[in-house]
Structure 1
Amino acid sequence: MDSRKCIAVLTEKPSLDYQSGILKGIYRSAFSHGLNVAVMCVTNTRSDEIYQRSEMEIFSLLGDYSKFAGVLYLPDTIDYKSRDEILTSSLQKISRELRLPVVSIDKSTADFPCYISDDTDAVRFLVDHMADVHGCCDIAFVTGTKGHAHAEHRLEKFRQAMADKGLKIHRNRLFYGDFWRSCGEDIVKSLISGKNGLPQALICANSYMVDGIYEALYSRGIRVPRDIKLACYGERTETSEYISATIRSTENVGFAACEGLFTLMKGGTIPHISYIKTEFSERPALTCGCMHPDEYNLLDFRAKDPNELSDFFTEYNTMSEGLIRCPNLRETMWTAIWYTHLFGDFTRFSICMCDDVIKPDSSLDENNIRKTFTDELLLALDRKRLPDGSYDDFVGTDRKFRREEVYPPLFEPADKPAAFVFRQLHFIDRCYGFTVLSYGSDIVTPAANYNFWVNVVANAIESQRRLAIMTYLYKKVNHAAVTDSMTGLLNRNGFNTMLPQLTEEALTDGKRFLLIMADLNGLKYVNDNFGHHEGDQFIITAGNVISQTHVAGSVCERDFRIGGDEFVKAVYGDITPEALESFRQEISRKTSEINRNSHKPYPLYISLGMCLQQPGAIPDGDKMLSIADERMYADKLRLKKETGFDPKRK
């Protein structure tokens, strides 16, 4: 079975009605041609520029676009100009250099063919309804931002509908808004203060502006629809249920655009601009007077705006706590799997992570944040629906792929085509990876809760990263507290802390316990005559000899530097007196070899004192140390006599 060709779709907030409709139309077309669809999306429109830039990293997965058969771009959904400029520039480049087909939707450009919604009939219906059903002849219109393609198009269609109806547009009846509620106050002020006063009806180019206008009217005691009738052109879930509206569907636009892209992929040609009639449903409601009397505050009837409210928040609180309380990243991923039920009946969900997310030593410097994907990525979580309806779940770090592969399942052979929605996984500008959600070949797009879900997981990963750093630093501080910085051996504090633990383990296991006291002969002589740097190397060499020489039969050994030239080796196991002599001989052999080869003007000699205790008869540490120290002193005298080296006489 051959791998499927895949097209890329670039958009923002795929859960909103407009984008969701476009995507469903694209899916229907793409699936009919056996194409997979990769939806690369940003979701957050907050004004934080750092956050905006970070979300754009998801588009870098496309690389040079060479793995894709074509691109559909929805520039009108990209809220910030800088984002649009970056994407348009990259698409212009690949269109020229790779000859890759690119089609734009609802925003024309000189570089790509474009499919544009034609809202003529939807706007005309609103004018006809106000005039024919409610007898209004003085009608105002609020469109979107001046210069915006949709705003200018809908304003033009309003003028045309009024002219065709034989209705005059009076002074102070046409307004540019901002596609948001905030413009309501200024428009209402202008209407009230104007010479012609309030119109009989007002139509808005989207639902948010009519919401803002209604609130401004109500706060002034002006009642809808008694004093003025309102209506809008809007989306299904974004238009409050009390507002009279034409509810558009954008599936046919998405379908037509994808069909055009497929034509280009096959080597055909399409018009540079194609207008697609908007499909819509008529929904007269409260604000035009078709339903309910006007005695109520209609704000009480507002629908749940998916930008403001979601049933997900009930689960969201529990999910956030459930993830943050996990002891490690692995448990976080397993817990996240349980919460995937919030996505509905999906076929596959994956979390792909950068391979250094939880590496404390690589993320200590907060001024050096990695903002891009790593060259190698981990399929850290993968939940796949099986033919019997059950799920195959995986959490781990052993499934890896190269960044240029994008996401391996996207190009794997499969019985049916599928759509995959990609979402950036990050905390502010720190990049963790990305998520992928697929409903297979079903014509389904993610709900708004998907965006919140991913944000919660990103916050939990950030929590795990900080926990890992704190644990790492805690261990590092503890290690430093019991470690001699010069030799890397445990220090006196480590000896005092660990000796009781070691003797207790020896007693419990019924093992012999051995304490070896070692002294470096001539350290003061070396420091005084050759400098402290040379003395430090002298100490390090001695520490290496002692720690790298082991006692036969030992089960556990720990090495300590407890003073300037004093070392201790604590050992327990099945140790014989012969093992002690072998240890002494091995130390002597190693120091002799060092003295032959080092060409130093001074020799290395290590005096040893040993205290071996039987199982069950281990005295306290001070007593063993005293015995070993006494024997070590005797060994020092022996070495002076045998070698003739006495630093005090030099």
Structure 2
Amino acid sequence: MKKRKLFGVIAAAAADTEQREVIKGIIEKTREMDIDVAVISNIYNPMEWASMLKTENLIYDLVHSDEYDGIILISESVIYPDVQKKMLEELQNKSAPVITIGALPEGFSLPTFTCINTDDVNDFKDICDHLTDVHGFTDIHILTGYSELELSHKRVEGYRRSLEEHGIPYDENKVFYGNFWNNSGYDHAMRYISGELPYPQALICGNDYMAYGLLDCFLEHNIDITKKMAVTGYEYIRERYCHVPILTTYQRNRKALGIKAVEMLCKGADNITHDDFEPPKGNIISGDTCPCGAKTEDIRYDIRTARKKDIYDRLDLYSLLEHKLIECRSVDKFVETCREEKFRIKNADRLYMCLYENWYEGTGNSSNMVCYDLIDNTEPFMFNKYNISAVFGNEAASYYFCPLFFADRELGYIVLRFKGNDSFRHIFRCWLKTIANGLEFLRMKNDIRFYLQCQDISEERDTLTGMLNENGLKKAYRNTEKDGLSFVAIRIAPGICNCGVGHKEHIDAVLDAAEAVRQFSDGQICSRINEDTFVCLIRDMTDNTDLLAVQLSALLQHNTSYIKKYGLDSFVCTAVPCEDNDYLTTKEKCFARMTEMTDVYSARRTDPHYKKLNALRTMIYSTPQITFDQREIYSHFNGSDGYLRTIFRKCYGFTLHDDCTNARISAARYLITMSKLSNSEIAEKCGYNDPKYFMRQFSGITGYTVPRYRLLFSRSAEE
């Protein structure tokens, strides 16, 4: 349930300076009024259609949500006509009030829209007033945008009004049209340099980009433009540090637009008529391209911004996140890896990866999302795609919803939360691309059709798990010193499943078992030599090879996907020392023992009570903390306590009491080696009230003290 009012902000390329300024005002005002903000934005926002990027605009489906109390549309940021059309279709059915900010593209309007903007006419009049009043210039040119755009002519109109108020004749020959991009500024500079146009006292550029193109051209031709004429830009896009000399420009008061939009929405949401809109005035940002000169505080701000950008650019350049993500073989590991580099998302208070429930299937997307916290180690949760407030916290904040996609595959979206007025930068695009690439690799690893296509990719690698296959293991065995080496094999689902590679649940179970084998081998040699058998070559862990088999079993018993599918008695694990240089001889010794164990397990399954007893054992091993409570255990079985104990021993050959103890010790083996929990914490999770009793019992059953066992098998033994 929503806790507060929610205003939606529809933007495009929200990292651009123009959008950031508007959003800054929106956030400042909504924070003051205890309102949540959801900014929905694409990332690339190309002017020309790019088929590879069409999927990113599916993020605007979130406008469907009925949770918005009001919507702010930053209209001029959406530049592709088809996307504009999609937005209009979404918004025309909204009952919530809609405020648009900025110039509206042709046809991009509805009667229900309330439009606000800064006044381009007055802004350009202010610029021209500055040049005449402060510097006394009377010969002034203007380079505006496309001649067919009303926006371009509004900027010329402000220039004309200023001249006329100062008694300076307006001359159309001093008005030039460009394309609002650097190249038209460069071309216009060449007209001055070549002598085609006489130098004026000052040139007003319709935006900063054209001004930068002009400055770059003069610099390239080794001409000091300050000795020729003054130049002003418009927009203050925060790139002055990249060009020489420092540009004098004009900052539109877009922040005030954001504040005003929120005030108007609040009144509209409460059915209160808002006041007439008065466009906010901007201000001159002085630079060295006019006689004012750059102000120290402005230069300091520009440099500080540039340095921060450089730091995060370098972090991205040297990051190995993409390599690490490509190596991940499960979503859990993927999320864990992302958390390791959470510092790359500057100032985000929360970072969520929301994936479609069936994102990996390549079919139509579910309406349900699974949300993963990429900052804190919390459990994922599920919510409906359009219930966007499901990710909101207890305090008012701003949330950015950005598309997560690969080519034409929509994977979900990323949500960033900021408690302050900050927002994401363009570097976030690189991070998003890395995440999307990593997810696609992970999807392909779990897509059996992909692996069938790639089954011949390597003669020495198993295509499903990426481990060595039997050819690779034979080669490794030949080239490995046998002294202190053990051959550890585990066979999963023997005699139980003949699912074949097409069954997804079986594939998931195999991959889960593979992860347990990797955890056990911890960088040593591991392989999948056939459909149901894994083999590890383990050196110098212990002289007791049986202990190796017990430890690997403990790890698999606590890998939930596998156990959930096949249960406890679904695998056999043995280990033998590598005393023979011949691979086949060692394998036969190990497999002979596995066959004996398989026969024992097969005999158990003929017992008429086996299914019920196995379900009881699975519960005991999954919740070992209940094993001290006999009433709790017996309550799960219909029959007397004595009858349960009798049939249990007959089926398994050991007592229920002993199995409860083994369940606790198995959980302890797993936690000792796979977690950083203290001995007391492990004892508690295994059901022991007395840590000392736990340590005595563990030592008595395993033959090792807890510290010694941790030293043998733990991934962080030094801790």
The verdict on a shared fold, with TM-score over 0.5 as the criterion, is yes
For the 8 Å contact 1:119–1:278, the answer to whether it is kept is no
Among residues 256, 265, 283, which one is paired with 2:260 in the alignment?
A: 256
The aligned runs of 1:553-632 (5 Å cut-off) are: 571-573=595-597
Cα deviation for residue 422 of structure 1 reads 0.8
Among residues 261, 276, 279, which one is paired with 1:276 in the alignment?
A: 279
For the 8 Å contact 2:29–2:262, the answer to whether it is kept is yes
Cα deviation for residue 180 of structure 1 reads 1.4
Q: Kindly indicate whether residue 89 of structure 2 is the aligned counterpart of residue 105 of structure 1.
A: no
Cα deviation for residue 23 of structure 1 reads 1.0
Cα deviation for residue 61 of structure 1 reads 2.3
Residue by residue, what CA displacement relative to the aligned partner does 1:189-228 show, whole Å, maximum 9, x if unpaired? 5556787523221111211110112223444554301122
For the 8 Å contact 2:350–2:373, the answer to whether it is kept is no
Cα deviation for residue 495 of structure 1 reads 10
For the 8 Å contact 1:245–1:285, the answer to whether it is kept is yes
For the 8 Å contact 2:123–2:158, the answer to whether it is kept is no
TM-score w.r.t. length of structure 2: 0.58
The aligned runs of 1:113-192 (5 Å cut-off) are: 113-120=114-121, 122-190=123-191
Among residues 352, 355, 359, which one is paired with 1:353 in the alignment?
A: 355
For the 8 Å contact 1:350–1:381, the answer to whether it is kept is yes
Q: Whole-Å Cα distance in 2 between the matches of residues 246 and 129 of structure 1?
A: 11
Q: 1:149 to 1:463 in 2, by over 3 A?
A: farther
Residue by residue, what CA displacement relative to the aligned partner does 1:162-183 show, whole Å, maximum 9, x if unpaired? 1112223335321222221021
Q: What is the identity, as a one-letter code, of the residue corresponding to 2:435?
A: V
Q: Which moved more, 1:35-44 or 1:231-240?
A: 231-240
For the 8 Å contact 1:323–1:335, the answer to whether it is kept is yes
The aligned runs of 1:413-562 (5 Å cut-off) are: 414=394, 416-440=395-419, 442-469=420-447, 474-475=462-463
Among residues 356, 366, 378, which one is paired with 2:370 in the alignment?
A: 378
Q: Whole-Å Cα distance in 1 between the matches of residues 572 and 53 of structure 2?
A: 57
Cα deviation for residue 498 of structure 1 reads 8.1
Match of residue 336 from structure 2: 334
Q: Across the two proteins, how many residue pairs are aligned to each other?
A: 478
Q: Whole-Å Cα distance in 2 between the matches of residues 342 and 495 of structure 1?
A: 41
Q: Kindly indicate whether residue 232 of structure 2 is the aligned counterpart of residue 231 of structure 1.
A: yes
Residue by residue, what CA displacement relative to the aligned partner does 1:46-69 show, whole Å, maximum 9, x if unpaired? 445224421111111232x32211
Cα deviation for residue 278 of structure 1 reads 2.7
Q: What is the identity, as a one-letter code, of the residue corresponding to 1:11?
A: A
Q: 1:195 to 1:436 in 2, by over 3 A?
A: closer
Q: Kindly indicate whether residue 216 of structure 2 is the aligned counterpart of residue 212 of structure 1.
A: no
For the 8 Å contact 2:369–2:384, the answer to whether it is kept is yes
Cα deviation for residue 403 of structure 1 reads 1.9
Q: Whole-Å Cα distance in 2 between the matches of residues 303 and 455 of structure 1?
A: 28
For the 8 Å contact 1:140–1:169, the answer to whether it is kept is no
Q: 1:457 to 1:495 in 2, by over 3 A?
A: closer
Instruction: Return the index of the structure with the highest Cα Rg.
Output: 1
The aligned runs of 1:39-50 (5 Å cut-off) are: 39-46=39-46, 47=48, 49-50=50-51
Name the SS for the 1:7 alignment partner. strand
- % of aligned pairs identical? 20
Among residues 378, 386, 406, which one is paired with 1:404 in the alignment?
A: 386
For the 8 Å contact 1:138–1:170, the answer to whether it is kept is no
Q: Whole-Å Cα distance in 2 between the matches of residues 499 and 430 of structure 1?
A: 34
Match of residue 247 from structure 1: 251
Q: Whole-Å Cα distance in 2 between the matches of residues 119 and 495 of structure 1?
A: 72
Match of residue 85 from structure 1: 85
Name the SS for the 1:203 alignment partner. strand
Q: 1:303 to 1:83 in 2, by over 3 A?
A: farther
For the 8 Å contact 1:424–1:434, the answer to whether it is kept is yes
Q: Whole-Å Cα distance in 1 between the matches of residues 253 and 357 of structure 2?
A: 42
TM-score w.r.t. length of structure 1: 0.64
The aligned runs of 1:315-334 (5 Å cut-off) are: 315-321=315-321, 323-324=324-325, 326-328=327-329, 329-334=331-336
Q: What is the identity, as a one-letter code, of the residue corresponding to 2:368?
A: E
Q: Whole-Å Cα distance in 2 between the matches of residues 500 and 84 of structure 1?
A: 58
Match of residue 27 from structure 1: 27
Name the SS for the 1:278 alignment partner. coil
Residue by residue, what CA displacement relative to the aligned partner does 1:390-446 show, whole Å, maximum 9, x if unpaired? xx423x6x5222223235033x6x2x3221111111122221111111123x22222
Match of residue 312 from structure 2: 312
Q: What is the identity, as a one-letter code, of the residue corresponding to 1:402?
A: N
Name the SS for the 2:596 alignment partner. strand
Q: What is the identity, as a one-letter code, of the residue corresponding to 1:354?
A: Y
Residue by residue, what CA displacement relative to the aligned partner does 1:470-504 show, whole Å, maximum 9, x if unpaired? 667555699999xxxxx9599xxx99998999xxx
Among residues 287, 290, 293, which one is paired with 1:288 in the alignment?
A: 290
For the 8 Å contact 1:424–1:433, the answer to whether it is kept is yes
For the 8 Å contact 2:14–2:20, the answer to whether it is kept is yes
For the 8 Å contact 1:138–1:199, the answer to whether it is kept is yes
Q: Whole-Å Cα distance in 1 between the matches of residues 381 and 390 of structure 2?
A: 11
Could you list the runs of 5+ residues in structure 2 that have no partner in the other structure?
Answer: 295-301, 456-461, 472-496, 501-528, 537-544, 548-568, 575-593, 608-719
Q: 1:489 to 1:244 in 2, by over 3 A?
A: closer
Name the SS for the 2:412 alignment partner. strand
For the 8 Å contact 1:12–1:42, the answer to whether it is kept is yes
Match of residue 523 from structure 1: none
Q: What is the identity, as a one-letter code, of the residue corresponding to 1:572?
A: E
Cα deviation for residue 352 of structure 1 reads 0.8
Name the SS for the 2:183 alignment partner. helix
Q: 1:393 to 1:495 in 2, by over 3 A?
A: closer
Residue by residue, what CA displacement relative to the aligned partner does 1:245-303 show, whole Å, maximum 9, x if unpaired? 223331111111111111111112347x83412332x33322224449xxxxxxxxx97
Name the SS for the 2:314 alignment partner. helix
Residue by residue, what CA displacement relative to the aligned partner does 1:103-141 show, whole Å, maximum 9, x if unpaired? 111134352111111245543343233334444221111
C-alpha root-mean-square deviation of aligned residues, in Å?
Answer: 4.3
Q: Whole-Å Cα distance in 2 between the matches of residues 186 and 104 of structure 1?
A: 34
**Higher share of residues assigned helix:** 2
Q: RCO (CA 8 Å, sep 6+): is it higher in 1 or 2?
A: 1
Q: Whole-Å Cα distance in 1 between the matches of residues 342 and 530 of structure 2?
A: 50
For the 8 Å contact 1:38–1:421, the answer to whether it is kept is yes
Residue by residue, what CA displacement relative to the aligned partner does 1:559-602 show, whole Å, maximum 9, x if unpaired? xxxxxxxxxxx9414979xx8xx99xxxxxxxxxxxxxxxxxxx
For the 8 Å contact 1:18–1:249, the answer to whether it is kept is no
Name the SS for the 1:45 alignment partner. coil
For the 8 Å contact 1:138–1:168, the answer to whether it is kept is no
Name the SS for the 1:276 alignment partner. coil
Match of residue 640 from structure 1: none
Cα deviation for residue 19 of structure 1 reads 1.1
Q: What is the identity, as a one-letter code, of the residue corresponding to 1:337?
A: R
Q: Whole-Å Cα distance in 2 between the matches of residues 352 and 168 of structure 1?
A: 60
Cα deviation for residue 318 of structure 1 reads 3.4
